[in-house]
Structure 1
């Protein structure tokens, strides 16, 4: 049995205001190609299929296209809701969709209803898709007193799953137990682009919660990583912050054989548009770095004086420049936080101080003339 573990597609997400749907369409099509190439039996998507609870029509179209391509490649799909998804919306018509090989799980009340792969008649894998469990929402269903924690609700959920899997394994001794969970497991490292799932409490859960299963497909953290031999994050298929610029995005291929034999490998994904961070003066960036003109760019400018219209000028060469910051080599000596009354500073001096603080240089003669005119007009109108 070959399973392909992925998560955190975040279809519909933007990147510093840029639409990512075409990038997402491209990388999800690549996942379908890997399914066909490696003869994958089932694709496990551990939460956050969409980036928002109410996705746009275009986002729905991209996800539908991806599902169709994966099914055409020969794999069933098992997907669970993440903290970005709307469980009720994602789980609508799930029973009807399951007949076509698309198993969407978003209801916490179905924790002990595994997806049996390849089918119920000859099960090799019992897959338990655990949707994102918001503690205060699900604690009563799980019989927990309040206030509940992520650790508490996940512990109870996995205990129920272990009990159900134990019963099934007694009937089918070669059965493998696989769980999917959208959570922050202790020992893992966030990438920086995840939305916190903590609401008034600690968001992490201990890895020991998942003991007793052959493999746990984790979602929520965007960097691919191993928590233990059986617990892994596949990471997101695209980089969603410049903190992930160095990530090697991939999906995880899990091959289960007789007994508890398991082989795991990472299959790299294409990068539709790489990310790069560049540091230097505006002129240095404009004069070089031609190899990065098609990258998403984060620029850190080191000009002693803040350049005029830096983003517009950058985007003439780097059309995908999306963010910049100004970090002069030496901090300015000016201070705007002046007590005007005690210092006896005039309004003209205050404006000039403000300009110097913001820009790192004093006003030019032309600008000084405009400041004088503006203040004169303000006084003539009775302003202070």
Structure 2
């Protein structure tokens, strides 16, 4: 049996005001063609189809076009929701996606065994997929309560809850089938790209799954959430497929890929990396003021997207710097000044800033100027949080 594992599409991604969806769409169609040319039996999609819970129409079109392409090739798939996806939104189109052969597990069912899907593949063998969508700690405790777990202990130990559900799901494995587990989570010891959003998770904190918790009864564990493709366990064999394109400058110079798994019932699986060529290369360029013009000329032929960091002496004015860079390199998404000789730390630089000012700074770095509607929504959310904490607002 041949299985293709992919994840972290992030359709709808906007990087510093630049929409990456056309690149993601092209990469998805490349994946669909790889699935055909490599004669795979099924496709596993380990979460984060979208970049936000309210994706654009173009982002939805790219995702649905991908699953239609798989249907045209006669390829079934199993899909889980990631932390960037809206579980309820995915659940609302489950019936439609099922019609094109995509079985979606958007949230953990009241009976977790309903999240175990069995595919009859054209190889003649069964593929069992224990599909574990992303669950926050709060939702994990809620679902644990439904199935009779020891909720009080899990409020303190996220890993115990995850381990309970992993064990529960593996009850659906069959000795005569190829058994796989699919998770959207962080496995401790995994290496981030540097682009995963820091407020979403911390690689070193307790909200991780230990490799020792992965079931040895699974021949393969298909992981999503970390954007850097990598192997994280030998027994069972567990891999992150990584993101399809370089989504942020933290992923610069990373080679993107999907995973091709060859497996037979009761036998160790083998994994092959299939490179993905879609997506523009991202590059961060550093230079000082003296070398700026020369460096810009060297990059004229670069076809990717750039972040230009210019080191300038503290107190040295640089009027019109962004316009100078864009005149030569219109593919530059960000021009930053790094003042050499300043002793102010990042923490000190943030001191005295309000939550709104911090959010504006973050948004400007990621997407551009903050829209008024988003500003109003943030202020309303901030007010609600402070009221709940008993602050005078």
Task: Give TM-score, length-normalised by structure 1.
Answer: 0.79
Q: Quick check: 1:299 aligned with 2:308?
A: yes
- Work out whether 1:134 is the aligned partner of 2:141: no
What is the CA–CA distance in structure 2 between the aligned matches of 1:96 and 1:48, rounded to whole Å?
A: 19
Alignment of 1:1-384 (within 5 A): 1-95=1-95, 97-109=97-109, 111-113=112-114, 114-118=116-120, 124-142=126-144, 143-146=149-152, 147=155, 149-165=157-173, 168-169=174-175, 174-195=176-197, 196-198=199-201, 202-212=206-216, 213-229=218-234, 230-280=237-287, 281=289, 282-292=292-302, 294-304=303-313, 305-331=316-342
Larger mean CA deviation between 322-331 and 26-35 belongs to 322-331
Contact 1:80 1:104 in 2 (8 A): yes
For structure 2, the residue ranges without an aligned partner over 5 or more in a row are 349-393
- Highest Rg: 1 or 2? 1
Q: Look up the match of 1:359.
A: none
Instruction: Tell whether the 8 Å contact from 2:261 to 2:272 is kept in structure 1 after alignment.
Output: yes
Please name the residue that 1:362 is paired with: none
Cα shift readout 1:354-378 (whole Å, capped 9, x = no counterpart) = xxxxxxxxxxxxxxxxxxxxxxxxx
Q: Is the 8 A contact 1:225 1:234 kept in 2?
A: yes
- Please list the CA deviations of residues 145-180 of structure 1 after superposition, one character each: whole Å capped at 9, or x if unmatched: 242543122111111012232xx33xxxx3121011
1:124 CA displacement = 1.9
Q: Give the structure, 1 or 2, with the largest relative contact order (CA under 8 Å, sep 6 or more).
A: 2
Structure 2: distance between partners of 1:286 and 1:126: 53
- The verdict on how the C-alpha distance between 1:226 and 1:308 changes in structure 2, with shifts beyond 3 A counting, is same
Report the Cα distance in structure 2 between the residues aligned to 1:205 and 1:261, rounded to whole angstroms.
22
CA 15–145 in structure 1, closer or farther in 2 if over 3 Å, else same:
same
Matched-pair contact (CA < 8 Å) for 1:191–1:222: yes
Give the C-alpha shift of residue 332 in structure 1. Answer: 9.6
Q: Cα distance, 1:302 vs. partner?
A: 2.7
For residue 283 of structure 1, report the CA deviation from its aligned partner: 2.0
- Unmatched 5+ stretches in structure 1: 338-384
How far apart, CA to CA, are the structure 1 residues paired with 2:201 and 2:167? Answer: 22
Q: Counterpart of 2:113 in 1: which secondary structure?
A: coil
Decide whether the 8 Å contact of 1:130 with 1:181 is kept in 2. yes
Matches of 1:332 and 1:77, distance apart in 2: 53
Query: Take 1:64 and 1:14, find their aligned partners in 2: how far apart are those partners?
Result: 19
**More off after superposition, 142-151 vs 83-92:** 142-151
Contact 1:116/1:123 (8 A) holds in 2: no
2:368 alignment counterpart? none
Give the Cα–Cα distance (whole angstroms) in 2 for the partners of residues 286 and 119 of structure 1: 53
Query: Number of paired residues?
Result: 326
- Secondary structure at 2:274's aligned position in 1? strand
SS of residue in 2 equivalent to 1:216: strand
Label 1:88 to 1:331 Cα distance change in 2 as closer, same or farther (>3 A). closer
Instruction: Give the TM-score normalised by structure 2.
Output: 0.77
Structure 1 stretch displaced more, 65-74 or 1-10 = 65-74
